[in-house]
Chain A
Amino acid sequence: MYFEKITEIIRDQLGLEDAKIERETSLMKDLEVDSLDAVEVIMKIEDEFDIEIPDEDINAFKNLGDIADYVKNKKEG
């Protein structure tokens, strides 16, 4: 469910209605998202799940699956 919500945020935020988005998808490499939009997406995720993601954690994300797992871990411990 975290992954689905994150996918929805990305589609909505970036206007990527038809893009193929999977757990292995990288925001910057596969979706060609620049650093500004990447920050914007992270902000939306923070808002959606009411969490804070420190910059050092962001740098460790390799793909969307990592982000979903991170959020799950934050929310459910």
Chain B
Amino acid sequence: MKRRVVITGLGCVTPVGVGWKSYWDALLSGKNGIGFISQFDASEFPVRIAGEVDNSTFVDLIEKKDSRRMSRFTQFAIISSKMAINDSKLDLEKIDAEKFGVIVGSGVGGMDTLEEQHRILLERGPKRVSPNFIPMMISNIAAGQISMMLNAKGPNFTTVTACASSTNALGEAFRTVVRGDADIVVTGGCEAAITPLSIAGFASMKALSTRNDDPEHASRPFDKDRDGFVMGEGGAMLIFEELEHALARGANIYAEMVGFGAASDAYHITAPHPEGKGARKAMELAIKDAGITPEDVNYINAHGTSTYYNDMLETLAINDLFQDHAKKLSVSSTKSMTGHLLGAAGAAEAIASILAVRDNKVPPTMNCFQPDEKCNLDYVPLKYKEVTVNYALSNSLGFGGHNATIAFGKYKN
């Protein structure tokens, strides 16, 4: 019999809330997480807004002796993992460490550390570059640090697929537990890319919203006046556990992960496929993997970045796959509140999808005042909705043409 995977712990650090309860309350109430950039002087930048995690909300959650050799993205990962493990009530002394994995996505790793050390290299020469630079910067160090904190000796790796990184991570974690390579996996994503170089780079791509005078309304997925995504940051971790393992210890089960699909556009470095083929295929595969039909799906947490092409083509892909059922779906983008957490987005949005399944509540798409004429779905504009959610999908579409979809369902015996 196929091994089943349930979610037994959640933890997150986001621009709208720290800890899953505060995050979920924020999403349902339409809280705005976007403001002016404070982490560096952005006054000369074309983009001066982002969804930052307020330092006062998380610095006390990690000890200085632990954090000093961790880049910001790793700190987000460590705090989120600790929360998720506490939430799961797992007794780390009693579990099989070799069947305990860590699979975490990050798009760019320690960008802040890289920029700081590069500055030192240019100003003071190669001999002043920190010996801790490389192990702080590499994207996979977050997964490594989590394993050291938790003594997790099972499969441990990092997925890097830009904005789809942590959806790929959750997908691989799911497969790892189904295969039997692990009974428990800490999985999720982390990102801290609100840095001068990163903001400048994304701004040059014209990918970011320049609504600098009105940050609260800058991230407006599917709205006709959207003008790009808003950079966010944070971390989100989930505990994936094999069902029998969870039942044996009487764990609280939020939902079941039922399917994963991944497909590539093989088309362009940044532009999505003009017919949304890859996104459609990822959703189709996730549904097939779950053993359900498109009509069983009630909610899609969209990638919904608030860029012109993403929102239009993701909508096209949904219409193409779901046909008549598309109009009955609730489709929302929580990036309207958090901004785009890049490599952490998929994991943060998985938490939203799981809680939607658990609570039968769908978070809204804020700032979707007047949908684009090519965006014709129910985006749950401005206010959350109570609706039965038996199955939810969460989409992530990354630069490079990476499309990944994960599917969650209510846990039923």
The reply to whether chain A is a binding partner of chain B is yes
What total count of A-B pairs have CB within 8 Å?
23
Q: Are A14 and B130 in contact (CB under 8 A)?
A: no
Determine whether A15 belongs to the interface, using a CB cutoff of 8 Å to chain B.
yes
Interface flags, A31-54, vs B, CB<8A=1, else 0: 000011101100100010000000
Q: Are A14 and B128 in contact (CB under 8 A)?
A: no
Q: How far is the CA of A39 from the CA of B69 in the complex (A)?
A: 14
Residues of A within 8 A of B128 (CB): 43, 47
Q: Which residue of B lies closest to A41 (CB)?
A: B131
What class of interface size applies to chain B in its complex with A?
Answer: 10 to 19
Please give the distance in Å from B117's CB to the nearest CB on chain A: 12
Q: Are B131 and A14 in contact (CB under 8 A)?
A: no
Q: Are A40 and B132 in contact (CB under 8 A)?
A: yes
Q: Which of A15, A36, A43 contacts B135 (CB 8 A)?
A: A36
Please give the distance in Å from B225's CB to the nearest CB on chain A: 48
Determine whether A58 belongs to the interface, using a CB cutoff of 8 Å to chain B.
no
Q: How far is the CA of A35 from the CA of B132 in the complex (A)?
A: 10
Determine whether A16 belongs to the interface, using a CB cutoff of 8 Å to chain B.
yes
Please give the distance in Å from B70's CB to the nearest CB on chain A: 12
Q: How far is the CA of A14 from the CA of B63 in the complex (A)?
A: 12
Residues of B within 8 A of A15 (CB): 63-65, 68
Please give the distance in Å from B137's CB to the nearest CB on chain A: 13
Q: How far is the CA of A43 from the CA of B124 in the complex (A)?
A: 12
Q: CB within 8 Å of A: which of B211-245? A: none
Q: Are A39 and B65 in contact (CB under 8 A)?
A: no
Q: Which residue of B lies closest to A42 (CB)?
A: B131
Q: How far is the CA of A36 from the CA of B64 in the complex (A)?
A: 17
Q: Are A40 and B65 in contact (CB under 8 A)?
A: no
Please give the distance in Å from B347's CB to the nearest CB on chain A: 29
